[in-house]
Amino acid sequence: MRVRIEKRLLPSRWMTLSVPILSLALALLVIAFVFWGYGVSPLLAYKRIFLGAFGSLYGLSETIVKAIPLMICGVGLAIAFKALVWNIGAEGQLLMGAVAATWVALYVIPDAPAAVLLPCMFMAGFLGGAIWGFIPGILKAKLKANEVITSLMMVYIASELVNYLVYGPWKGAEEWGFPYTSKFPSSAQLPRLLGTRIHYPTLILALLLAVLVYVLMMRTKLGYEIRVTGENPEAARYAGMSYFKTVVLVMLISGGLAGLAGVGEVAGIHYRLRYPQGISPGYGFTAIIVAWLGRLNPLAVIPTSLLFGGLLVGGDAIQVALGLPVATINIFNGVILFFVLGGELLTRYRITLERREK
Amino acid sequence: MILEFIAAALKAAIPAGTPLLFGTLGEIYAERSGVLNLGVEGMMIMGAVTGFGVTLATGNVWLGIALAAMAGGLLALIHAFLSITLRANQVVSGLALTMFGLGMSGMLGKRYIGTPLPYRLRVAPIPLLKDIPFLGPILFQHDPLVYLSVLLVPLLWFVLFKTRAGISVRSVGEAPATADALGVNVFLVRYLCVFLGGVLAGLGGAYLSVVYVPAWIEGMTAGAGWIVIALTIFAMWSPGRALIGAYLFGAVKVLQYRLQPLGVSPNLLNMLPFIFTIIVLLAGTGEVMRKRIGAPSALSIPYAREEK
């Protein structure tokens, strides 16, 4: 017997939908064994995760709360990854968006009315994230520096910068020694859906962005250039498309979007800048999987971000209930990504078993 | 006084850079064979938790270190399977490996948090050499793993550039189809190189948790695995330069500790290694381009036999 792997000409529509779902199911099965090995009943763990995330109105609202930054970051990363630009630094870009928004809210125009202040915060946040994405982008486009490393190093730098600010110059006077800035003025706080933490303006923004980016990618010249650059850089160069422009642009956009997610967190949830893990439990990293599981389709990022939002909420629930460490969520991220990657083979290639001749 | 300070700093830079040296040597082999493994951070941290756990349970430091190397190697095989056999995207697969390693180590290591390690790897000064004035204490009064990592440098250089096996590794990374036609088993060579990369990353992690710190702290590699990726480029895929790069980072880390009492913000100091990583990456990339050496040509491109 021999395994043959042949390239499929066109993956069927049925497969592009069913394979990610099957991959996800297999990943959850493998993680069940991890729970079991740790001495936690997998059935109980999954039940808790599911009920924690979707079983109550509160859980459901928290799932949406956590899906908001994942969706915004995931949509941005889908653009970058489509051009085969590996922006791994959404986490840092998110933090810089939060820093920029905080700066505007507390130090630049704290007395402005909400109708002025909030849009300014979002604009500043976009800029903050975009600058943080621009640096790896320009280093890649100009000097061929590996963007995986540079964008990731920028995460560590952003994280230390936030620490420096909240422990140092921006530390609030009335925060009892906590590493927080002062609370934002009420005009810098986003409204929430009654009784929940859903800051709906950001949610609407996230959904709008998903649709907008979908249109950008599918219907505009820029979107076409991004896709061609990713699929066939040689052809893109041949057709006169500027590699430099594409790389820098996708880093600016994906960085800027991550920055917007950061604004949502400080203006909608915390009303202040806090230590980095307090603002984001790794939204920028989880968004990588959100984008990939959505096969880099901005519209598909909507359901995948809800799924991972639920996983984060459910993960919190089992940490408390079953005494699992915070890092457990990373096991989900890793294993799901393994299986999604493996599953892609099924859509791209046809695998047949054949008898060896002779 | 100044001289003593410099001597102490240099002596401290070597063990501080040793985990990076192990990791970089391994990644050099993986990348030379054409496989980019961004999972170094995950393999290192799994090595760290395995080394600590096994040493604590058995009281045998060497057994702990050996199993840590195995753990790194096993984890690397996941990446090998996905990227070599299934031809998956190597960037994403490596990222998945890092996430998985961070998560798994956090879960396995939860019970070790705050536990001291009563077993140590003793410092083994080398007779005669240790008595050389100034250099003796800096270079020849370390633990056996430091010596092992240093010995690996010429050994791995020799194998890579002066033996048949090394030619196979390099040819598989440069022109896999040609190597295949000449009878080299591309898949086997790549599997072995990725496995070796994992073993060495695991060793580096164990060095951190069993010898250097020694304790288990969740996420204790703190980006070391990513620094390794940058160092591999800085080293221009050659073991000799890996040694220089790793100790340079060791020195930065020592500097970080030495500046802290002087009142510089620890958060700003913590940025140093990461800013330095970007600088080192730029320096490495620039030199690679100037000298037109280039990365292994087939780096991160899966090899498929039937697609001609």
pLDDT tens digits for A105-125? 999 999 999 999 999 999 999
At B264 the pLDDT is 82
For residues A66-71, average pLDDT: 98
Which of A19-28, A322-331, B272-281 is the least confident region? A322-331
**Helix B144-162 × helix B186-206 angle, to 10°:** 160
Among residues A114, A84, A38, A34, which one has the least CA distance to residue A232? Answer: A84
Give the percent of chain B with pLDDT over 70. 98
Domains annotated for chain B, with CATH where assigned, are: 7-290 (1.10.3470)
CB contact under 8 A, B218 and A325: yes
At B258 the pLDDT is 83
Q: Quick one: pLDDT band at residue A354, thresholds 50, 70, 90? A: low
The DSSP call for residue B129 is G
Q: Quick one: pLDDT band at residue A62, thresholds 50, 70, 90? A: very high
Q: Quick one: pLDDT band at residue B240, thresholds 50, 70, 90? A: very high
For Cα atoms B282, B284, B288, give the angle at the middle one, nearest 5 degrees: 115
For residues B217-221, average pLDDT: 92
Per-residue pLDDT at B243 exceeds 50: yes
Per-residue pLDDT at B308 exceeds 50: no
**Helix B2-32 × helix B186-206 angle, to 10°:** 150
Per-residue pLDDT at A358 exceeds 50: no
| Least CB–CB distance from B271: residue in A160, A325, A349 | A160
Q: Quick one: pLDDT band at residue A264, thresholds 50, 70, 90? A: very high
Task: Tell me the average pLDDT of chain A.
Answer: 91
Per-residue pLDDT at B101 exceeds 90: yes
For residues A335-343, average pLDDT: 91
Do A187 and A117 form a contact (C-beta atoms < 8 A)? yes
Which residues have a Cβ under 8 Å from the Cβ of B153 and sit 6 or more positions away? B21, B25, B239, B240, B242, B243
Do B170 and B29 form a contact (C-beta atoms < 8 A)? no
Per-residue pLDDT at A351 exceeds 80: no
For residues B276-305, average pLDDT: 84
At A356 the pLDDT is 56
User: Cβ–Cβ contacts within 10 Å for residue B181, how many?
Assistant: 9
At B136 the pLDDT is 83
Which of A32-36, A257-261, A269-273, B60-64 is the least confident region? A32-36
Chain B partners of A333 at a C-beta cutoff of 8 Å? Answer: 96, 99-100, 103
Per-residue pLDDT at A324 exceeds 90: no
| Least CB–CB distance from B95: residue in A88, A167, A349 | A88
At A357 the pLDDT is 52
Per-residue pLDDT at A57 exceeds 90: yes
Which residues have a Cβ under 8 Å from the Cβ of A15 and sit 6 or more positions away? A346, A347
Chain A: residue whose CA lies nearest to B277: A153
Per-residue pLDDT at B288 exceeds 90: no
At A232 the pLDDT is 86
Do B202 and B54 form a contact (C-beta atoms < 8 A)? no
A341 in contact with B, Cβ within 8 Å: yes
Among A153, A157, A286, A352, the residue to mutate for chain B (most B Cβ within 10 A): A153
Please give, one letter per residue, the 3-state secondary structure of chain A: CEEEEEECCCCCHHHHHHHHHHHHHHHHHHHHHHHHHHCCCHHHHHHHHHHHHHCCHHHHHHHHHHHHHHHHHHHHHHHHHHCCCCCCCHHHHHHHHHHHHHHHHHHHCCCCCHHHHHHHHHHHHHHHHHHHHHHHHHHHHHHCCCHHHHHHHHHHHHHHHHHHHHHCCCCCCCCCCCCCCCCCCHHHCCCCCCCCCCCHHHHHHHHHHHHHHHHHHHHCHHHHHHHHHHHCHHHHHHCCCCHHHHHHHHHHHHHHHHHHHHHHHHHHHHCCCCCHHHHCCCHHHHHHHHHHHCCCCCCCHHHHHHHHHHHHHHHHHHHHHHCCCCCHHHHHHHHHHHHHHHHHHHHHEEEEEECCCC
At A27 the pLDDT is 94
**Does residue A6 or residue B160 have the better pLDDT?**
B160
Q: Which amino acid is at A163?
A: N
Report pLDDT digits (tens) over B19-50.
Answer: 999 999 999 999 999 999 999 999 999 999 99
Min Cα–Cα distance to chain A from B219, Å: 9
At B4 the pLDDT is 82
Per-residue pLDDT at A1 exceeds 60: no
Min Cα–Cα distance to chain A from B203, Å: 22
Among residues B22, B60, B23, B20, which one has the least CA distance to residue B40? Answer: B23
